[in-house]
Structure 1
Amino acid sequence: MDRTRRRRHFNNKNDGSGERNERFRFPLDVEEETGSHMEDSYNFEQPGNEQEDSFIRGEQRKRLFEDTAKPEKQESSYTISKAREIPSAVHGTKKQPKPDEEETAVEKPHKDKQLPGAREVPSAVYGTSKQKYSDDEILKLESQVENYNSNDASDGYKSPIVEKLKEERIRRAEKEHKRLQAVKARKEREQARYKDPYSINTKPSHEKQQSVENIERKTVEEDSGSKQSAAPSISPFNVVMTPYDKKKEMTASRRATKRSGPKSSMPSIHMLEGDEESEQPISWPAAAEQQEMTAAFKAAGVPAEVVDYQTNGIIGIYEMALERNFRLNNIEKLKADLKRYLSFESIRIIAPITGTSNIGVEVPATSQNSISFSTVFSSSSLKMRKNDYKFVIGKTVDDKIFSYDLQKTGHILFYGDNEVDSAGAIDNILTSIMMNHNPKEFKMMIASGKHQYDDYQGLPHLFSEPKSIMDPDVLSNLLKELNDRDNQFRRAHVRNITSYNQRVNYESKKSVIAVIVDDLSTLFENNNPDAVRTIIQILRKGKPLGIHLIMKHTRPEVGIRSDLLQMMQTRISYKDENSKVIEGSDQLSRGNDMLIQIPTSNKPLRVNGAVLPDDSKQRVFSHLKQVGG
């Protein structure tokens, strides 16, 4: 027989007899007569007898149920029939009805009635609700507190918790009353200030009395000989003071101290006028000059035509459009060919012009006109008198004004054997800055013994008296100022002069110092090691401290060290056959023609300096000497 189809047999020994030895009891099985039966009954059929009863007989099951019946609970004789109710610390003596008694509580309202003459006890947890009192009620409560006598036994028992709550409530009411009074007084002061804007009669009477007493006390002290400061005394900050009180105290101190600012007036722009008549309007070159330019390109084997022409009065630039198959590596060959066919002293080719595919040919103008300093100054942003250290030198070839900030230039080097034009460029720089800045903001120091700087003597902008470059103590004061500024900036946790001036008042601000060194070739030839060390220190850390060098090197045969040359951020070169300082300076023309390399550009700019007449410079300098610092 298959194992899965085999029937189970229990207790095979008693199959023939009617009695069985029961080993498993199922006390939850009930007979069918009781009316309840199990849905999942354990009814195992035996082979040969399909109608056989379950393993436990009905009588035996009934007896098992009777044996396991639980005994009935008897009432204990120690049960308290009537116990005293203990009041709750939260709800008091009020009895909370049970869920089964909620229905009967409606039928017996006499149980929830309050006893006559009893008072409500406030909760120790929730207290009482806050109430707002008027001024009359506050006064009444205050009188009740004053007349209250805790020893009076006629009022009955008084809870200390309730009395404390009453006192707290009265204290809050008094505080609210004081706040309302302060608000009312503030509104009255605002209305009085609105009616009397000059604050003549806005002070209260007690403050007026105190001010009178203070004045009398001050007069008595002055008569006795004691020295009193004119500014009102300000008490120092207290640790307990709130941030609002500290801010109020600082505002009062700022109002008490008189604002101090610049006491000198700037020179007028009209002082620079007088040289505009020599300047003539710029026009296009004649047709013959244009034909000469196109013929030179055609003779060189590169056909071209003139597209545009621009000039500043000294140098002009032709914009030439070439054929598309022209290669830029043939520029040098083209330049050599053009010099043979053109009758100009110097030719400089720019390939290509920025933004176009054309090339530019810079040549001296046929009819040259000088550039006026007053025109350049009044046409630039310097006429707005902004708080920057911009200066103007002249105009570029495309007739644009060249102006730059001294704090961005760093240290300036004038290189070339052009003594006159380099001195004029330095005059333009110093005059531009002195026109817009008072002696408190800008200082200058001249380390030169040449007579061309005699006009600067007596100016209030001088940091020290001019000395020769060969004097051992020529830059000693400047070195001390450099070290002092370095230490002060470190203590103030700043890195440059702009950040330092933003943190201090007007009296403590540092001025920008321009140092004119004329010239470096003399210093390098002769032995003055102190001056050389000071110059190296200024080149290294002078720019963020507000100290800038403006140096001249007029003899190209005297060499200049490459490490010093790299620390000079702005370089201005005149005609130089060897192009030591700026590449391409050999293509310049003699005279008022220079290449300027600034830190923010990788290409040099060709600039022609503006001319500042002596009479205009003397008018500006005489005004500065009269006004003073």
Structure 2
Amino acid sequence: MVRRRREFNKDSRINDNKRESFKFPLDIDNSSLSNDDQDVRTPSDQPSVYNKRDSKEEKYQLTRPSVKRPTRHTILKARDIPSAIYGSKRKQPERDSKEVYGEKFKNYNSIIVSQIVKERKEKEQRQRDIKKKENQRRAQLAAEEKRRKARIQNGEISDKKTGAKKKEKERLSVLGSKEEVLRKKQLQNQSKRLGPSMSQPGISILGDYQETDYQEADKLLINRINEAFDTLGVEGKVIGYVSNGIIGRYEVKLNRSFRVANVPHLNQALKKNLGLDHLRIMSPLIGTSNIGLEVPLSEVNPITFRTLFESSSLKLRKNDFKFVLGKTVDDKIFSYELSKAGHILVYGNQTLYDTQPVDMILLSLLMNHSPHDLRISVIAEDDSYDDYLDVPHLFGHKVSPSSEHALLDVLTELNNRNVQFRRAHVRNIQSYNNRVKFESEKATMVVVIDDLQGILTNENPEVPRALIQILRQGKPLGIHVIANYKNTDQNIRYELLQLMQTKISFYDEDSDVVNSSNELTEGNDTLVVIPTSNKPNRVSIGQVSKLVRQSVFDHIKHNNR
């Protein structure tokens, strides 16, 4: 193939140069001018000097075809690519909030949720029906009133009514049929209500108050304490006194250079100098840098249950599962919530006060809670808690700790609640009761074990295992254990001790459960450790007489249906 040589075409170049790049504005014909322009520029009778040239033939077509045939490479419409920051600029159509909320639970299958939705729809339908009836009733009343006014204007009837009928008419015109619905609902609530207001015993049956003549300090003892500090060469002076009727505390201000590590030596020296067998030093007092000398009173004023009940928040009669134990040394009521306390261990009970801590807890709960909210299970060998067997709050029957089936009923209830809570997708009793009906709510259960040693030494190994399972899983499920451990000769295991969140220790020579419990006096003097604080609180347990306890039980039995 011969390659063609490129040559310059001179004729083509000359022809291109002869072309005009643009038209001169005056190279047009007179026909395109208006009449005014013709008069000014050229007379109409004279021939035109400028002639319009013929249009040139263009080599290429200037206009494109209106329709272009699409090919497989043609992009008909570019897709919207949302921005990483601003998203898509396309306006989303507005949707109903109920529709959006319903899509979240479109594929959610739950018996409780479906029941709640069904009840909600039925409630909305009932409200719509009531509203419709009210509108119809009001329309009828308005029509009757209009007809009556027309008859009065015509003179057919007179406008004389009695006061009672007129008042009844006005009341119906305002409420309509809603009044009848409200009355029926009120009667239904009164017939179904099982709340604590129907079974709450009165405060007047709780006996007497505590005597109030215990706030005066012993001046002779104050002088002896000041002389003892001078004798020991320690700079200190008594500046305050407070008491709860059983224990008195003398506040002593020491020199700033006194070391806290010397407090045990100071305690022993003061005991010898003052001749006091039971002396406990509280160092330091909360909110100050002073120390407190706690001394038992020679004349004791017992702390009654009525004083504790009326001086605490229990008198508000709330459904908060609070209980009272007694008073601290600074004359303050010691109360706590059962949901926070978890499982309670009562260690080293004295013979005369073996049931007092448990009685204070149970009576505090029975005063403010109905059988629908509270259940009590008793596991005891003797007859100390037989009075609780007749109340409607009892769960199951009394069982001996040495029995092979001591904790079988409680363990069955624990497993049933575990399954029901898991199906309801909840983890604690508060969430479960908020989701179900009033009739399906779970009651808080208190399991009283009179002698924990009998459970631990049971011949059936399943009983101690059941106890461990209840202690581990019971608190969120609403099952609380109050265990009484009397035998201090055998130490309690550390693993079991850690499962007890709240510990109440009486006098213990070895201080196995609570530190410094060997400094307590024998009696209702205790040290209490709660889950929210590692520092023990010295609490004097309150007392309740058998007459008061029986009065509370009789009131509960006769006023619960």
Deviation at 1:304, TM superposition (A): 1.1
The TM-score, its normalising length taken from structure 2, stands at: 0.69
Matched with 2:164 is none
Report deviation, 1:65.
Answer: 9.8
CA distance in 1, matches of 2:408, 2:290: 54
Give identity over the alignment, percent. Answer: 42
In the alignment, which residue of structure 2 is the partner of 1:364?
296
Judged with a 3 Å threshold, the aligned counterparts in structure 2 of structure 1 residues 419 and 490 are, in CA distance, closer, same or farther, namely farther
- Counterpart amino acid of 2:306? S
2:512 to 576, 580, 599: 580
- Residue 319 of structure 2 aligns with which residue? 387
SS of residue matched to 1:606:
strand
Q: CA deviation at 1:522?
A: 2.9
Residue 620 of structure 1 aligns to a residue whose secondary structure is helix
2: CA distance, partners of 1:455 / 1:190: 59
User: Aligned pair 1:68/2:19, yes or no?
Assistant: yes
Amino acid at match of 1:72: D
Q: Distance in 2 between matches of 1:309 and 1:192?
A: 78
Aligned equivalents of 2:459, 2:387: Cα separation in 1: 29
- CA 1:187–1:418 in 2, change beyond 3 Å: closer, same or farther? closer
- The answer for the alignment partner of 2:201 in structure 1 is 268
Q: Does 2:503 correspond to 1:571?
A: yes
Change (3 A) 1:609 1:67: closer
Corresponding position of 2:484: 552
Q: Is the 8 A contact 1:189 1:202 kept in 2?
A: no
Indicate yes or no: 2:261 matched with 1:329: yes
Q: Indicate which of 384, 391, 394 corresponds to 1:452.
A: 384
Change (3 A) 1:507 1:353: same
Distance 1:65 1:561 in 2: 115
**Per-residue displacement from partner, 1:436-488 (whole Å, max 9, x unpaired)?**
00001000000002111121121101001212111112211111100000000
Report matched runs for 1:200-349 at 5 Å: 258-259=188-189, 260-262=192-194, 265-276=198-209, 279-349=211-281
Q: Which residue of 1 aligns with 2:361?
A: 429
Does the 8 Å contact 1:412/1:572 carry over to 2?
Answer: yes
Give the superposition deviation at 1:68: 3.0
Quote the residue 1:196 is aligned against. 173
1:604 aligns with 2:525: no
Deviations 1:28-56 (A, max 9, x none): xxxxxxxxxxxxxxxxxxxxxxxxxxxxx
Deviation per residue, 1:556-581 (Å, 9 max, x gap): 11221111100100000000011000
Task: Kindly report structure 1 stretches of 4+ aligned residues shifted beyond 6 Å.
Answer: 63-66, 183-188, 254-257
Q: Structure 1 counterpart of 2:392, which letter? A: P
Normalising to structure 1: TM-score of the pair? 0.61
Match of 2:450 in 1: 518
- Structure 1 window deviating more from structure 2 (194-203 vs 512-521): it is 194-203
Larger Rg: 1 or 2? Answer: 1
Task: Report SS of the residue matched to 1:489.
Answer: helix
1:429 aligns to what SS in structure 2?
helix
| 1:413 aligned onto 2:341 | no
What residue identity is the alignment partner of 1:424?
Answer: Q
Structure 2 counterpart of 1:67, one-letter code: K
CA–CA separation in structure 1 for the residues paired with 2:17 and 2:241: 130
1:376 deviates by 0.8
- Aligned-partner Cα distance in 2 for 1:601–1:263: 34
Question: 464, 467, 489: which one pairs with 2:396?
Answer: 464
Listed one character per residue, the Cα deviations across residues 70-91 of structure 1 (whole Å, up to 9, x for unaligned) are: 872179xxxxxxxxxxxxxxxx
Q: Secondary structure at 1:542's aligned position in 2?
A: helix
Q: Deviations over 1:209-257 (max 9, x none)?
A: xxxxxxxxxxxxxxxxxxxxxxxxxxxxxxxxxxxxxxxxxx99x9799
| CA contact 1:415–1:553 (8 Å) conserved in 2 | yes
Rounded Cα–Cα distance in structure 2 between residues aligned with 1:184 and 1:443: 45
1:85 maps to none
d(CA) in 1 for partners of 2:249, 2:133: 78
* Gap change, CA 1:188 and 1:351, over 3 Å in 2: same
Contact 1:269–1:378 (8 Å) recurs in 2: no
Q: CA-atom RMSD, angstroms?
A: 3.3
Query: How far apart are 1:525 and its partner, in Å?
Result: 3.8
Matches of 2:17 and 2:399, distance apart in 1: 133
CA deviation string 1:512-542 (max 9, x = no partner): 0100111012333452423212111110100
CA contact (8 A) 2:418 2:477 kept: yes
CA displacement at 1:271 relative to structure 2: 4.1
Aligned partner (choices 269, 277, 282) of residue 350 of structure 1: 282
Structure 2 counterpart of 1:270, one-letter code: I
Extract unaligned runs of 5+ from structure 2.
Answer: 1-13, 22-52, 58-130, 142-170
Q: Secondary structure at the match of 2:352?
A: helix
User: 1:430 Cα shift?
Assistant: 0.4
- Give me the whole-angstrom Cα distance separating, in 2, the residues matched to 1:328 and 1:568: 31
In structure 2, how many angstroms separate the alpha carbons of the residues matched to 1:392 and 1:347?
A: 26
Partner Cα distance (1:202, 1:294) in 2: 76
Separation of aligned partners in 1, 2:278 and 2:179: 81
CA distance in 2, matches of 1:361, 1:561: 33
Q: Deviations over 1:167-213 (max 9, x none)?
A: xxxxxxxxxxxxxxxx999977556588534545999xxxxxxxxxx
Does the CA-based 8 Å contact 1:346-1:364 persist in structure 2?
yes
1:386 CA displacement: 0.7
Residue 305 (structure 1) shift:
0.9
Contact map agreement 1:271 1:620 (CA 8 A) in 2: no
Deviation at 1:607, TM superposition (A): 0.3
Decide whether the 8 Å contact of 2:321 with 2:337 is kept in 1.
yes
Q: Which residue of 1 aligns with 2:371?
A: 439
Distance 2:178 2:433 in 1: 41
Aligned 8 A contact 1:371 1:609 in 2: yes
In structure 1, list runs of 5 or more residues that go unmatched.
Answer: 1-62, 76-182, 204-250
**Highest RCO, 1 vs 2 (Cα 8 Å, sep ≥ 6):** 2
CA 1:575/1:189 → structure 2, altered by over 3 Å: closer, same or farther?
same
Report the AA paired with residue 203 of structure 2.
Answer: H
Q: Give matches, 1:138-149, under 5 Å.
A: none
